[in-house]
C-alpha cells in the first residue's frame, strides 16, 4: 500500500504550512481555524471554523505542526470506520477489515506514518477501538482533564479528546501538550496489575485471549505484582451509559433530526432517534446508577493500580457483511465500562492475533487523575513486548 493511498483513506483536508516540529492530524469534529469542520457529514459544515479548538491551540503552542484533518464516523457515532459521505476509512494493516471508530482516520493516520500524533475523541471507545485495530496507542484521559471547547459533542457527560501515536512516549508527550503538564513516565517499581475476570473474560476470542495471557506474562517478567480482580457491575455499564448518551446526542442534533433527517446516514439517524425514546426518568435513574458504579469501581483501585483487559473482545472484523448495529455494541462492550467510570484508560498494542495476524490491543485503566501510573505501566510493557511485526 502506497503512502498516497493511505493518505486518501485517512485525510479529508490537507492543511498548508511548514512541518518543522512533530506533526499532528486532527479528527474532523475538532475545529481548526480557517478549515470547515464537517463532523463526517456532508451537510454539517457551514464554513471555515473561526478559531482553533483549545486542544489544537495547545498543540501549536507546544510546537506541533497541524498538517491535516482526518475522517470519522458521521457525528462521531460508530465503531467500524463507516462513512457514507466521505467514504469508509480502511484499516492500515488490512483494507478488508474495519478501521474502528469513530476516530478511524486518526488511528490510520498515525499507523500509516502520515503524522506523529493525531487527536481523536472518545465517548464510549471511539479512540481506543481504532487504536487497537490499527496497532497504535490511544489514550482516553480522565473525564474533564482535557478541554472539549471547539469539539462537536456526542455526549457532554462522557466525551474526551484522545491523543494517538505509534508509541506510548509519543502519546504521553501529546497528552502533556494538551494539559500543559510534563509527561511523567519514569521507572522504578511497576504498578500493581489487576487482570479483570468475570464480564471481561466472557465471549473473548481465543486468539485475543492468548495475546492477553502473553501480556500478563510480560508484566510478571517485569516484576509487577499481578492479581485477578472483578470489576463490579461492569456488565450493566454500557446500557446505563447509553441511557444518558443517546438523549444527549439527540439533543445536539435535534434541529437536524426535525428539519432534514434524510440527510443523516440511516444507521446514525436510527441511533440518534433512540435518544428521543428514552424517558427522562430512565436517564435520571442511569445517572444515579453511574454514581454508584464509580464508587464500586473505586474500591477495585484500593487493591491494584491498573486493571488489564482486552480492548475489544474479538479479532478485527472484516468489513464485508458486517451488521453495524450489532457489531458496534459487541466491539465496544469492554471500552464502555471504563468510559462510564471516568478514569483514564488506554489501548496499547499487545501483539498480533495468531490466526489473522491483525493487531490486538490491551486495555489498561486506572483511577481518575492517575494517568502517570497508567502511562508508566504501558511504557514498560511496550518496551518489554518488542515489535509487533
- pLDDT, tens digit, for every residue of 48-59? 999 999 999 999
Please, which residues bridge with residue 298 across strands? none
Residue 3: pLDDT band (50, 70, 90) is: very low
- Distance CA(223)–CA(218), nearest Å, equals 9
> Which tens digit of pLDDT belongs to each residue from 279-289?
999 999 999 99
- Residue 21 confidence class, pLDDT cut points 50, 70, 90: confident
Query: Which residues, including other chains, have CB under 8 Å from residue 32's CB and lie 6 or more apart?
Result: 15, 26, 49, 52, 53, 56, 66, 69
Are 82 and 271 spatial neighbours (Cβ–Cβ below 8 Å)? no
The answer to whether residue 242 scores a pLDDT higher than 60 is yes
Would you call 363 helix, strand, or coil by DSSP? strand
> What is the mean pLDDT of the segment spanning 330-339?
96
Q: Report the pLDDT value the prediction gives residue 11, as an integer from 0 to 100.
A: 47
pLDDT at 12: 41
At a CB cut-off of 8 Å and minimum separation 6, what does 290 contact? Answer: 237, 240, 241, 244, 340
Beta strand 306-310 with 137-140: parallel, antiparallel or unpaired? unpaired
Which of 61, 62, 31, 65 is CA-nearest to residue 47?
Answer: 31
Active site members: 27, 102, 126
CB atoms inside a 10 Å sphere around CB 266? 11
Q: Give the span between the Cα atoms of 142 and 145, in whole angstroms.
A: 5
**pLDDT (mean) for 208-215:** 98
Q: What is the pLDDT of residues 315-334, one digit of tens each?
A: 999 998 777 666 778 899 99
Where residue 374 falls (left for φ over 0; alpha for ψ -120 to 50; beta otherwise) is alpha
pLDDT classification of 42: cutoffs 50, 70, 90: confident
* Least confident span in 43-47, 158-162, 236-240, 300-304: 43-47
For the chain, the farthest-separated pair of C-alpha atoms sits apart, in whole angstroms, at: 59
Residue scoring higher pLDDT (195 or 42):
195
Q: Other C-beta atoms within 10 Å of 384: how many?
A: 12
**Ordered alpha helix ranges (H), 29-93:** 54-61
263: pLDDT strictly greater than 80: yes
Strand order of the β-sheet with 226-229 is: 11-14, 65-70, 23-27, 117-122, 160-165, 137-140, 345-352, 359-366, 306-310, 193-196, 226-229
Distance between CA atoms of 92 and 98, rounded to whole angstroms?
9
* Among 53, 56, 61, 64, CA closest to 23: 64
Predicted pLDDT at 353: 98
Average pLDDT, the chain: 93
Q: Is 170 within 8 Å of 131 (Cβ atoms)?
A: no
Taking residues 92-104, what's their average pLDDT? 97
Dist. CA 93–CA 389, nearest whole Å:
11
> pLDDT confidence of 388, banded at 50, 70, 90?
confident
The answer to whether the predicted template modeling score (pTM) of the entire model surpasses 0.85 is: yes
Residue found by looking up cell 476470542 in the block: 205
Amino acid at each position: 500500500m502506497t503512502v498516497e493511498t493511505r493518505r486518501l483513506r485517512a485525510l479529508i483536508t490537507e492543511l498548508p504550512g511548514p512541518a518543522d516540529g512533530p506533526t499532528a492530524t486532527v479528527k474532523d469534529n475538532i475545529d481548526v481555524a480557517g478549515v470547515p469542520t464537517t463532523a463526517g457529514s456532508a451537510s454539517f459544515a457551514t464554513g471555515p471554523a473561526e478559531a482553533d479548538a483549545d486542544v489544537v491551540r495547545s498543540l501549536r503552542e507546544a510546537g506541533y505542526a497541524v498538517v491535516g484533518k482526518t475522517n470519522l464516523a458521521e457525528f462521531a457515532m460508530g465503531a467500524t470506520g463507516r462513512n457514507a459521505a466521505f467514504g469508509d476509512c480502511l484499516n492500515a494493516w488490512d483494507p478488508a477489515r474495519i478501521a474502528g471508530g469513530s476516530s478511524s482516520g486518526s488511528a490510520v493516520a498515525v499507523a500509516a506514518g502520515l503524522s506523529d500524533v493525531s487527536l481523536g475523541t472518545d465517548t464510549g471507545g471511539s479512540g481506543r477501538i481504532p487504536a487497537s485495530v490499527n496497532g497504535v496507542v490511544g489514550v482516553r484521559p480522565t473525564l474533564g482533564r482535557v478541554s472539549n471547547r471547539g469539539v462537536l459533542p456526542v455526549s457532554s457527560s462522557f466525551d474526551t479528546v484522545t491523543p494517538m501515536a505509534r508509541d506510548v512516549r509519543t502519546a504521553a508527550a501529546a497528552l502533556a501538550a494538551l494539559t500543559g503538564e510534563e509527561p511523567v513516565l519514569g521507572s522504578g517499581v511497576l504498578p500493581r496489575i489487576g487482570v479483570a475476570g468475570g464480564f471481561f473474560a466472557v465471549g473473548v476470542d481465543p486468539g485475543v485471549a492468548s495475546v492477553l495471557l502473553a501480556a500478563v506474562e510480560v508484566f510478571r517478567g517485569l516484576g509487577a505484582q499481578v492479581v485477578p480482580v472483578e470489576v463490579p457491575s461492569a456488565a450493566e455499564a454500557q446500557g446505563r451509559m447509553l441511557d444518558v448518551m443517546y438523549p444527549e446526542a439527540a439533543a445536539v442534533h435535534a434541529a437536524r433530526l426535525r428539519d432534514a433527517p434524510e440527510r443523516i446516514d440511516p444507521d446514525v439517524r436510527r441511533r440518534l432517534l433512540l435518544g428521543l425514546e428514552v424517558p427522562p426518568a430512565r436517564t435520571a435513574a442511569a445517572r444515579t446508577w453511574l454514581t454508584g458504579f464509580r464508587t464500586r469501581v473505586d474500591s477495585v483501585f484500593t487493591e491494584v493500580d491498573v486493571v488489564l483487559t482486552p480492548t475489544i473482545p474479538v479479532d478485527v472484523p472484516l468489513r464485508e457483511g458486517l451488521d453495524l448495529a450489532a457489531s458496534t455494541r459487541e466491539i465496544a462492550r469492554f471500552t464502555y465500562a471504563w468510559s462510564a467510570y471516568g478514569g483514564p484508560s488506554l489501548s496499547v498494542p499487545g501483539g498480533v492475533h495468531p490466526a489473522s495476524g491483525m493487531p490486538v490491543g490491551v486495555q489498561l485503566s486506572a483511577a481518575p487523575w492517575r494517568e502517570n501510573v497508567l502511562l508508566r505501566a504501558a511504557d514498560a510493557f511496550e518496551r518489554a513486548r518488542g515489535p509487533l511485526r
